[in-house]
Amino acid sequence: MAITLGVIADDFTGATDAAGFLVEAGLRTVQLTGPAGIEDLPDGLDAEAVVISLKTRSTPAEQAVAESLRALDALRGLGAERILFKYCSTFDSTAAGNIGPVTDALLEALEEDVTVLVPALPVNGRTVRDGHLSVHGVPLHESGMRDHPVTPMRDSSLVRLMEAQSAGRAAVVPLAAVDAGPAAVAEALEAAREAGARYVAVDAVEMRHLDVIGEAVRDLRLVTGGSGIGSGVAKAVLADAASDGGEPADAAAPSARWRPAAGSAVILSGSCSQMTNRQVARYGETAPARAVDVDRAVADAAQHVDELVEWAAARQAEGTAPLIYATAGPEEVEAWQRRHGAEEVSAAIESLFGRIAAALRDRGTVRIVAAGGETSGAVTRALGLAAFEVGPTIAPGVPWTRGVPDGIDLALKSGNFGDEDFFADALRTPDLDETAPRG
Ligand SMILES: Nc1ncnc2c1ncn2[C@@H]1O[C@H](COP(=O)(O)OP(=O)(O)OP(=O)(O)O)[C@@H](O)[C@H]1O
Ligand SMILES: O=C(O)[C@@H](O)C(=O)CO
Q: Among 121, 153, 352, 374, which is best to mutate for testing ligand 1, by the most ligand atoms less than 8 A from CB?
A: 374
ipTM score: 0.96
**Spans in the chain with pLDDT lower than 70:** 1, 37, 40-45, 246-257, 405-406, 429-431, 434-439
Amino acid 34: pLDDT: 81
pTM of the model: 0.88
Q: Give ranges for CATH 3.40.50.10840 in the chain.
A: 5-255
The protein residue with its alpha carbon nearest to ligand 2, atom 3, reads 89
Residue 171 parent element (H or E): strand 169-173
| φ/ψ of residue 62, rounded to 5 | -60, -45
Residue 373 Cβ contacting ligand 2 at under 6 Å: yes
Q: Give ranges for CATH 3.40.980.20 in the chain.
A: 258-426
Cα distances (Å, whole numbers) of residue 268 to 78, 110, 260, 320: 34, 38, 17, 14
Amino acid 348: pLDDT: 98
- Cis peptide bond upstream of 405, omega within 30: yes
Q: How far is the CA of 96 from the centre of ligand 1 (A)?
A: 19
What is d(CA 227, CA 231) in angstroms, rounded to the nearest whole number? 7
Q: In the CATH hierarchy, which fold is given to the domain comprising 5-255?
A: Rossmann fold (3.40.50)
Ligand 2, atom nearest to 13 Cα: 9
Q: How far is the CA of 107 from the centre of ligand 1 (A)?
A: 30
What is d(CA 395, CA 392) in angstroms, rounded to the nearest whole number? 9
Mind giving me the DSSP string for 190-223?
A: HHHHHTTEEEEEE-BSSHHHHHHHHHHTTT-SEE
Which ligand is nearest the CA of 413, by number?
Answer: 1
The gap between the terminal CA atoms of the chain, to the nearest Å, is: 27
Beta carbons within 10 angstroms of residue 241's beta carbon: 17
Amino acid 152: pLDDT: 86
| The CATH number, out of the four listed (3.30.70.20, 3.40.980.20, 3.30.310.10, 3.90.950.20), of the domain defined by the range 258-426 | 3.40.980.20
Amino acid 150: pLDDT: 79
